Homo-oligomer: A and B are copies of this chain.
Amino acid sequence: MNINRYMIKDTKEIRLSKLDANETGDFKTKKEAEAATAKLKKRLAELQDILFAQKKHSLLVILQGMDSSGKDGTVKHIFSGINPQGFIVTSFKKPSLEEEAHDFLWRVHQKTPPKGYISAFNRSHYEDVLVPRVHGSLSKEDAKHRFRYIRQFEEMLVEEGTTIIKLFLHISKEKQLEKIQERLEDPKKHWKFDASDLQEREYWDNYQEAYEEVFKESSTEQTPWFWIPANHRWYRNYLALDIVVKTLEKLDLRYPKLNTPTPDISELISPRH
């Protein structure tokens, strides 16, 4: 897929309502997409092996999206084939009292990936602008400050060796309702239901606007946002994975060479007389 199509560039013009959450790119069927996804998963495992061996770069994948947009599912699907030793997921929930007593980047900075690692953020520091903006507790001006700190923070991470991928999982309002209903009806999904999701749903339009503000303020050349049509989970998984793989392929990933002269082990191998 040409992933540039999904990169949010012209940030002055972005209107989420104009982006089709049902889109499936070049794929017509789920089967096609799943075959392509399987190949990409193998490729990701290869690339992660080198990343981990080389310990030069790290990758941070930030996942945002409305409730039920499939953040957990995306993490599960795209990263299930890699070496878990080199992978860390952090889900950022409502801040604890200790977290609230610090600046909003404090808890996220701690969870950034060390060299060699891939980290996924399931929600992130963007929630610290989105939620208070929607609920009116953060002024436009204070939000501007936070966006500046976010840009500077991400820029510093990039400069110090972390590649950042920011994915917005885009679902339609109808799809969200469908997912909420599934959670209520399927006993295996009851645990995912949270009454507050229904409350937040009432702020749907405000969230969409707040996201448009996020893209405008934080989709930069170095750390762009990608929007992922997420009504079809098979396309969502394929596309998210494709972006991850293509991004890793742009790095100069190489297995490190032996940094001592190659020892002569012939004596250990050949039988002694």
Contacts and interface: CB of A to CB of B under 8 A. Distances in A.
Contacts of A145: 159
Interface string A143-181: 001000100110011011110000000000000000000
B101 A156 contact: no
B103 A157 contact: yes
Contacts of A106: 109-110, 112
Given A110-B109, A110-B110, A104 B160 contact: yes
Interface in A78-132: 98, 101-106, 109-110, 112, 114-116
Contacts of A159: 145, 149
A55 interface: yes
Most chain B C-beta atoms within 10 Å of own C-beta, residue among A98, A149, A156: A156
Contacts of A55: 101
A105 B103 CA distance: 14
A112 B101 CA distance: 10
A101 to B, nearest CB: 3
Contacts of A109: 105-106, 109-110
A156 B149 contact: yes
A124 to B, nearest CB: 16
A149 B106 CA distance: 15
Nearest to A151: B152
Contact of A103 (B102, B103, B152, B162): B162
A104 B98 CA distance: 23
Interface of A: 55, 58, 98, 101-106, 109-110, 112, 114-116, 145, 149, 152-153, 156-157, 159-162
18 contacts: A55-B101, A58-B101, A101-B114, A101-B116, A102-B115, A102-B160, A103-B112, A103-B156, A103-B161, A103-B162, A104-B160, A106-B110, A109-B110, A145-B159, A149-B156, A149-B159, A152-B156, A153-B156
